[in-house]
Structure 1
Amino acid sequence: MTARTDQAEITALVDRFFLALDTREFTPGWARPYLTDDASMAAPVGSPRGAEAVRTAETALLRFAGTQHFASGVVTDAAFGTDHATASWNAYMVHIHHSPAPDPLFVVGGRWEATLRRTAEGWRFTTMAVHVVWTRGEPPTPETETETETETETETG
């Protein structure tokens, strides 16, 4: 593999991961094309590992009626001859509240950093961390989270 090929594959992985978050098709195993089984995440909502990292991401996103994530400036460093790489990118993350609010959007600007491992299926994230640089609007309140969880339980239970 060449550095250019690795860059393109890792950038595509970032794009596909963000698209998966926004389409919210959280069927069993949805994260397998993006994360290693031992992956860890560090975000304002916590720092889980493995399957718990996937569940935490799902729960965080379902607090909102919808999301839209944009990535730009993906920079990678894949060490020649190894199956490990690092990547970082800027992100603009829009979250739409479930209920009417004075400002229906909670917007976050930040930077992501990740380590990756090349597997037989391609590059996968082993660690991911989001660093918030700025926010606009209000994050979900505990009352909103409780209402959303109750609505989800009623729909599925």
Structure 2
Amino acid sequence: MTTQEDNTAITVLIGRFFRTLNERRFEGDWGKEFFTDDVIAESPHGAARGAAAVRQSQQAVEDWAAIQYMNTDILIEADAAGPDSATASWNSLMTHIHHESTLEKLGQGLDPLFTVGGVWDVDLRRTADGWRFSRTSVRPIWMSGTAPQLPAAAE
């Protein structure tokens, strides 16, 4: 069972994570603040594990001129695996602005905005340093604007 203190710590972890993405603050070993060493990240960009998952999270931001992710309705539940694990999910409105160079490659007159409404599902593990994501998954529900050019394996 997660306590109110756990729920607060997990909610703060989620908020801090998205703030660093929105502000592109990737100083030092930023991933250690948010992920377990064996984290699995699943997204339309594909799936990755460990350090590759952390790089994928950072690259997904750097592929855009700017982003802003806004999250709401965070639901946190204890995990049956034990007192040091939990799951969480939330709704997210994810706004992306294409780089000018990307728009030039894709064609003139395209919308610079790409907006996604989706759901995040995560598994969390309590570590000596606090709660960390052990799995992240983002699932788009709707999209609007000029979509990114995903790697062929992810399409």
TM-score between the two structures when normalised by the length of structure 2: 0.85
Aligned to 2:116: 108
Aligned to 2:132: 124
The one-letter amino acid paired with 2:32 is R
- Name the CA shift for 1:117/1:2 in 2 (closer, same or farther; >3 Å): closer
Cα distance in 2, alignment partners of residues 66 and 48 from structure 1: 23
Q: How many angstroms does 1:26 deviate by?
A: 2.0
Q: How many angstroms does 1:79 deviate by?
A: 4.9
The one-letter amino acid paired with 2:147 is P
Deviations 1:48-73, CA, capped at 9 Å, x for gaps: 00000011122221111010011101
Bigger fraction of residues in strand: 2
Structure 2 unaligned spans of 5+: 104-108
Structure 1 unaligned spans of 5+: 146-157
Runs of 4+ in 1 over 6 A off after TM superposition: none
The one-letter amino acid paired with 1:127 is R
- Name the CA shift for 1:112/1:28 in 2 (closer, same or farther; >3 Å): same
Q: Percent identity?
A: 43
The one-letter amino acid paired with 1:102 is L
- Name the CA shift for 1:43/1:141 in 2 (closer, same or farther; >3 Å): closer
Aligned to 2:75: 75
Q: Work out the number of aligned pairs and report it.
A: 143
The one-letter amino acid paired with 2:26 is F
Aligned to 1:90: 91
TM-score between the two structures when normalised by the length of structure 1: 0.84
Give the stretch that moved more between structures: 84-93 or 27-36: 27-36
